[in-house]
Amino acid sequence: MLKAKVRAFFGVLASGDLNALERLVADAYVPHCAKLAGVPVLQAGREALRRRLAARGALPHQVFRIVADGDFVFAQVRYDGAVPVSGADIFRFDDTGMIVEHWNSRQFIPQDSLNGVDRFAGGGNADLPVSAARRAEMKTVMTSVLLNMWSKGNAALVPVYYDESYIQHNPDMPGGFHRIKEIVETEIPKYIAATGGDFPVDIHLMGAGGDLIYVYHSVFMAGINRNDGARSTNTDIFRMNAENRMIEHWDVLEIEGDKLADDATLF
């Protein structure tokens, strides 16, 4: 039901017909953009949202992977305006079934169309039946991946949490399993040695459904050959197998200093 409401909300974006906002979005709607330098703070409230959308008109897009978990819905979206933008959107619903909060990650991806890259391709099935216990297990595993493996640079955990068949849908970091192992063995320890502390990972939100798990978090960039040391607020989407290993991955990297072409996709 909540996924259907999110799809209806995206239908409003695509059509530019804002009449449906009153039955989808709470009057007290609060947008949360990444807390990075240069990213605007948006005014709260449904009417403020209506004004922003009215000023921008229809916003063409494609919704790919979408997960509902409790009061939250997580969506992977490509915004197909004049300049392509990779997006992840997270919605929280109130007790009346209205969207009351929204978080996003946005990444400007003009090079993708030039290089024929499709960072949205691949598998994953958010509609597979999943128990509350399995959702909790997936979140526990994901937390350990981030805080025990990545944050501490523990390369011994890479084969525990990543399958050798792992597919990485990020053209900036090719190499799959072996590249992950290389970063955890070399780049993360360099950061730890230089700073005297763990590699910082701040987990903000997490949601699981089917074989997919979304995590919205902040890190400092390391190991993808650009923006090293810059703060980044990202959404990572993993496909996790029954053995709790990551087999596929998508991401949206909103890196401080990397500007969007415009703010049309921020709402």
Ordered by where they begin, the domains of the chain are: 2-115 (3.10.450.50), 132-255 (3.10.450.50)
Token couple for 52: 């922003």
pLDDT tens sequence across 139-188:
999 999 999 999 999 999 999 999 999 999 988 788 899 999 999 999 89
Single-letter amino acid code for the residue at 160: V
pLDDT tens sequence across 10-42:
999 999 889 999 999 999 999 999 999 889 999
pLDDT of residue 114 exceeding 60, the answer is no
Q: Which stretch of 207-216, 223-232, 257-266 has the lowest confidence by average pLDDT?
A: 223-232
Single-letter amino acid code for the residue at 121: A
The candidate with the shortest Cα–Cα distance to 156, out of 184, 177, 176, 198, is 184
Structure pTM? 0.94
